A = this chain, B = another copy of it.
Amino acid sequence: MKVLGVDPGLTRCGVGVVDGVAGRPLTMVGVGVVRTPADADTAHRLVLIERGIDEWLDIHRPEYVAVERVFSQHNVRTVMGTAQASAVAMLCAARRGLPVALHTPSEVKAAVTGSGRADKAQVGAMVTRLLRLAEPPKPADAADALALAICHIWRAPAVNRLQRAQAAARRTPAPVRTLKGTR
């Protein structure tokens, strides 16, 4: 199974594609960062993130997308941007009928290092080892995106099958809405 991991952020969205199945060696298909200029307005930055994610989906055709679950316990300003960037990533995937899974940072850390409180360096080191890379992917957002993809491959084969069936079943419903116009 091929998974696109997305570590969402307005300034830097880490993206990484991993192919493989649980219990076998995994392969890195691609890794990178979608960046947007800090001085652009938020709406325009979201458009750039959409283009970047769509491009990764077009090029690598993943079967699943794993996005980091955002909590609002940290810096308020940062969290809003992260929530908005994650919404765009989820939208791009769901629009294509791809199942979207959310994993918390501690689930990802626990999956790849064995500890939910591992630091960035440990995550980077384990990603490097698990994907048999020459050096840790940089920046850290890119390594985190690969860790998300690995976590997803290992964590929930059963959940994946269920989500996939659900996504396929709802590929063509009409939007639920009401619309009134006076002109």
Residue A160 is within 8 A (CB to CB) of chain B in the complex:
no
A100, B45: Cα distance in complex, Å: 12
Q: Are B91 and A80 in contact, with the CB atoms below 8 A?
A: no
Please give the number of chain A residues whose Cβ is less than 8 angstroms from any Cβ of chain B in the complex: 59
Report if A178-B83 is in contact (Cβ < 8 Å); known contacts: A43-B90, A183-B29. no
Residue A180 is within 8 A (CB to CB) of chain B in the complex:
yes
Q: Which 3 A-B pairs have CB atoms at the shortest separation, nearest pair first?
A: A84-B87, A43-B94, A43-B100
Interfacial residues, chain A to chain B (CB-CB below 8 A): 27-37, 40-44, 46-48, 50-52, 55-56, 59-60, 70-73, 76, 79-80, 83-88, 90-91, 93-95, 100, 102, 166-167, 170, 173, 175-183
